[in-house]
């Protein structure tokens, strides 16, 4: 949430900052701003509510200077106004600060500053930092920033420029990512690799409690959470990323591009991890040998939003294949119930970004109590990946659209690999292992065949888009799919979409069914198919329009002729793998419904990619 960029070097900073902000906009798009130090140390600030393109219109040509910092905001303290946009400055306009995260003691610091006669001009927590840096008596900018940080509690990734120190940017990190990028006689800083890769792939990641002085020639790191600044040794290293993976290319949106990439992403997560001979998987990154895997008595999966729903899909798979009790829980709730951490439970944290604060805090809670956590994470080297005892990287590639699609698919496949391995060290037969491997190998092609039906799904989506309220229903393996389908739909169409177990409909929600409330029903050809079809009759009898996601050959009887009925057949695979093939058309429906409504699927209102605040 929120994005930081910074530049110091031989080029004009403003155009580079604007470009970087555009690349970070998915992390927050309420407002944007920048501060540039001109020659002679004049500090110029431009900021406003709205998108980066609105800021670009406001940055005047005279905004010259080769040192600058920028920010794109997702509002926490105070609404999205020009005043609340970052950077924040001190009263004299000599210090500018951009900040991601939340300062927990901001109100007391604001009160202290106001009592001292400081006039605060925003509602934000960040503004106090600019004043604290300005008031510090330290001789160096590093010392001043460290003084300010010693007074604050909370999380931050931040960048500071000061008119008296025009040769440097000082950055710091505590709980919110900060990366330094090394160029040729120039340096970049950013909260996310996406803003850097066009200029450099040689980067250094700061640790929590670390800060850095960044000049045009290089960078120096320190620990600032000690009594005195204490130098640390940190080398920049090349990261193995393809800058083209961050480009939208010919696609109409990132979400569309990312949905279409799913067959390739599925291949990547499986590559080198399937053992056809023994019907199992290789997951060296888990750091668990066969004996340790056998000793696991329970699996507890933690994630947020879509990562939580795919965690539910994963839990069913693990329980079915390995016969170990497994369940998923919202990471955001977990630590608040003071959970019992069991030594023979394997905890699994699931996260695309590896930054989601609720998931990270859950991991820390488990480890603090001596539990063992593995991560299913997409972003290599992210906080959650680093905090876990081991894990499975998803290799989905960068996911920019707020709505998760390809990352979710790779999470599901990573769970399949984990379930396979947990099963094969127990009672899952080699034949069953091989059966599943054959199913997984077919998946990329099968996902492609669903994506190829884009036009048909777009037509169905148009019909759903006109409804203010929808149900998504499923049972057992299909229920988390319904939850994910409803989540995707509401997230990007702003329609009310509610997921229910099909079996629970008549215990209440059936009262809402009418010709204006469509139901998207998941009816795989499994042991519950007849009961599911019976529930569809109950909906049709109340004139509820139906979209049924099912398998070829499933007999829907006279429902096929029901008004408002549409049937979507997905390819058959192994039953355990059904959930992901049922999920794909729901992504496409949500995407086209949003497009039909003229909404920006990549940047849905009120949301942002990577939720780094509680």
Q: Which of 351, 409, 446, 532 binds ligand AGP (CB under 6 A)?
A: 351
Q: Does residue 306 bind ligand AGP (CB under 6 A)? A: yes
* Strand ordering across the sheet containing 95-100: 88-89, 95-100, 156-162, 169-174, 210-215, 218-223, 230-232
Active site residue 388: no
The residue (of 352 and 502) whose beta carbon lies closer to ligand AGP is: 352
Q: Which of these segments, 31-39, 54-62, 301-309, 414-422, binds ligand AGP (CB under 6 A)?
A: 301-309
Q: What sign results for the dihedral spanned by CA atoms 349, 350, 351, 354?
A: positive
Rounded to the nearest 5°, which phi and psi values hold at 540? -60, -35
What's the CA gap between 204 and 215, in Å, rounded? 14
Q: Which of 6, 181, 305, 375 binds ligand AGP (CB under 6 A)?
A: 305
The residue (of 136 and 332) whose beta carbon lies closer to ligand AGP is: 332
Nearest to 377 by CA among 402, 401, 404: 404
- H helices of 137-201, in order, are 141-151
Site residue total, ligand AGP (CB under 6 A): 15
Residues 420-459 within binding reach of ligand AGP (CB under 6 A): none
Give me the least distance between CB of 311 and ligand AGP, in Å please: 10
Give me the least distance between CB of 485 and ligand AGP, in Å please: 11
What's the CA gap between 33 and 58, in Å, rounded? 10
Rounded to the nearest 5°, which phi and psi values hold at 140? -105, 160
Q: Is the peptide bond before 320 cis (omega within 30 degrees of 0)?
A: no
Q: Which of 52, 307, 460, 528 binds ligand AGP (CB under 6 A)?
A: 307
What's the CA gap between 109 and 117, in Å, rounded? 13
Tokens for 572, please give them: 């058959």
The residue (of 144 and 603) whose beta carbon lies closer to ligand AGP is: 603
Nearest to 513 by CA among 531, 536, 533, 492: 536
498 contacts: CB under 8 Å, gap ≥ 6: 469, 470, 471, 472, 486, 509
What's the CA gap between 583 and 306, in Å, rounded? 11
Give me the least distance between CB of 406 and ligand AGP, in Å please: 11
Residues 489-508 within binding reach of ligand AGP (CB under 6 A): 491
Give me the least distance between CB of 137 and ligand AGP, in Å please: 41
Q: Which of these segments, 177-185, 188-196, 302-310, 518-526, binds ligand AGP (CB under 6 A)?
A: 302-310
Q: Which of these segments, 68-76, 164-172, 298-306, 560-568, binds ligand AGP (CB under 6 A)?
A: 298-306
Residues 363-422 within binding reach of ligand AGP (CB under 6 A): 402-404
Residues 553-612 within binding reach of ligand AGP (CB under 6 A): 610-611
Active site residue 304: no
| Binding pattern for the stretch 32-51 against ligand AGP, x by CB under 6 A and - elsewhere | --------------------
Tokens for 349, please give them: 């944290």
The residue (of 316 and 351) whose beta carbon lies closer to ligand AGP is: 351
Nearest to 306 by CA among 398, 451, 408: 408
Find out whether 58 and 5 touch, Cβ atoms under 8 Å: no
Residues 219-258 within binding reach of ligand AGP (CB under 6 A): none
The residue (of 353 and 550) whose beta carbon lies closer to ligand AGP is: 353
Catalytic residue chosen out of the listed positions 66, 300, 595, 609:
609
Q: Which of these segments, 64-72, 112-120, 348-356, 509-517, binds ligand AGP (CB under 6 A)?
A: 348-356
Cα–Cα distances in angstroms (integers) from residue 331 to residues 286, 308, 363, 399, in the given order:
20, 8, 9, 21
What's the CA gap between 279 and 434, in Å, rounded? 4
DSSP category for residue 63? -
The residue (of 174 and 359) whose beta carbon lies closer to ligand AGP is: 359
Q: Counting beta carbons within 10 angstroms of the beta carbon of residue 344, is it exposed (0 to 12), middle (13 to 18) or buried (19 or more)?
A: exposed
Q: Which of 213, 262, 332, 356 binds ligand AGP (CB under 6 A)?
A: 356
The residue (of 162 and 603) whose beta carbon lies closer to ligand AGP is: 603
Beta partners for residue 5, in sequence order: 70, 190
The residue (of 311 and 444) whose beta carbon lies closer to ligand AGP is: 311
Query: Where on the chain is the footprint of ligand AGP (CB under 6 A)?
Result: 304-307, 351-353, 356, 359, 402-404, 491, 610-611
Q: Which residues are catalytic?
A: 2, 609
């Amino acid at each position: 949430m929120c994005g930081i960029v910074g530049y110091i070097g031989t080029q004009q900073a403003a155009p580079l900052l604007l470009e970087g902000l555009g690349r970070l906009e998915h992390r927050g798009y309420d407002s944007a701003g920048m501060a540039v130090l001109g020659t002679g140390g004049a500090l110029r600030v431009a900021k406003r509510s709205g998108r980066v393109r609105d800021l670009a219109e406001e940055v005047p040509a005279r905004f010259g200077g080769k040192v600058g910092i920028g920010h794109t905001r997702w509002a926490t303290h105070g609404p999205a106004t020009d005043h609340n946009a970052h950077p924040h400055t001190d009263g004299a306009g000599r210090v500018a600060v951009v900040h991601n995260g939340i300062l927990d003691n901001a109100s007391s610091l604001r009160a202290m500053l106001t009592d001292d006669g400081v006039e605060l001009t925003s509602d934000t927590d960040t503004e106090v930092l600019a004043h604290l840096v300005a008031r510090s008596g330290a001789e160096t900018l590093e010392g001043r920033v460290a003084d300010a940080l010693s007074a604050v509690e909370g999380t931050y990734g931040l960048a500071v420029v000061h008119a008296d120190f025009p040769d440097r940017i000082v950055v710091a990190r505590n709980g919110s990512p900060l990366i330094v990028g090394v160029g040729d006689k120039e340096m970049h800083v950013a909260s996310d690799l996406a803003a850097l890769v066009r200029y450099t792939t040689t980067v250094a990641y700061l640790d929590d409690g670390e800060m850095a002085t960044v000049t045009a020639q290089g960078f120096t790191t320190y620990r600032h959470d000690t009594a005195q600044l204490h130098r640390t040794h940190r080398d920049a290293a090349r990261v193995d990323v393809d800058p083209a993976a961050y480009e939208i290319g010919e696609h109409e949106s990132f979400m569309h591009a990312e949905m279409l990439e799913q067959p390739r992403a599925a291949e990547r997560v499986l590559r080198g991890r399937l053992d056809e001979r023994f019907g199992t998987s290789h997951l060296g990154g888990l750091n668990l040998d066969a004996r340790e895997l056998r000793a696991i008595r329970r699996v507890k999966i933690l994630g947020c939003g879509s990562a939580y729903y795919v965690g539910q899909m994963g839990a069913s798979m693990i329980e079915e294949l390995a016969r170990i009790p497994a369940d998923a829980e919202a990471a955001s709730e977990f630590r608040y119930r003071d959970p019992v951490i069991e030594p023979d439970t394997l905890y699994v944290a699931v996260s695309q970004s590896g930054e989601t604060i609720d998931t990270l805090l859950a991991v820390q809670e488990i480890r603090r109590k001596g539990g063992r956590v593995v991560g299913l994470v997409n972003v290599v080297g992210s906080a959650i990946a680093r905090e876990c005892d081991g894990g499975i990287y998803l290799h989905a590639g960068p996911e920019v659209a707020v709505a998760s699609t390809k990352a979710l698919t790779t999470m599901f496949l990573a769970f399949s690999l984990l379930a396979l391995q947990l099963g094969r060290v127990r009672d899952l037969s080699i034949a069953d292992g091989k059966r599943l491997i054959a199913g997984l190998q077919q998946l990329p092609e099968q996902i492609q065949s669903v994506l190829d039906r884009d036009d048909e799904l777009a037509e169905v989506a148009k019909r759903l888009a006109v409804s203010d309220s929808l149900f998504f229903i499923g049972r057992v393996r299909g229920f988390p799919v319904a939850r994910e389908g409803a989540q995707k739909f509401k997230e990007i169409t702003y329609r009310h979409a509610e997921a229910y177990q099909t079996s629970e409909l008549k215990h209440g929600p059936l009262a809402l069914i009418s010709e204006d409330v469509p139901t998207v029903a998941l009816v795989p050809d499994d042991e519950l198919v007849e009961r599911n079809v019976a529930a569809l009759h109950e909906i049709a009898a109340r004139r509820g329009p139906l979209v049924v996601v099912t398998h070829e050959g499933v007999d829907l009887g006279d429902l096929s002729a029901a008004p408002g009925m549409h049937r979507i057949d997905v390819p058959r695979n192994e039953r355990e793998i059904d959930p992901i093939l049922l999920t794909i058309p729901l992504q496409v429906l949500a995407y086209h419904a949003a497009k039909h409504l003229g909404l920006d699927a990549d940047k849905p209102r009120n949301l942002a990619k990577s939720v780094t605040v509680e």
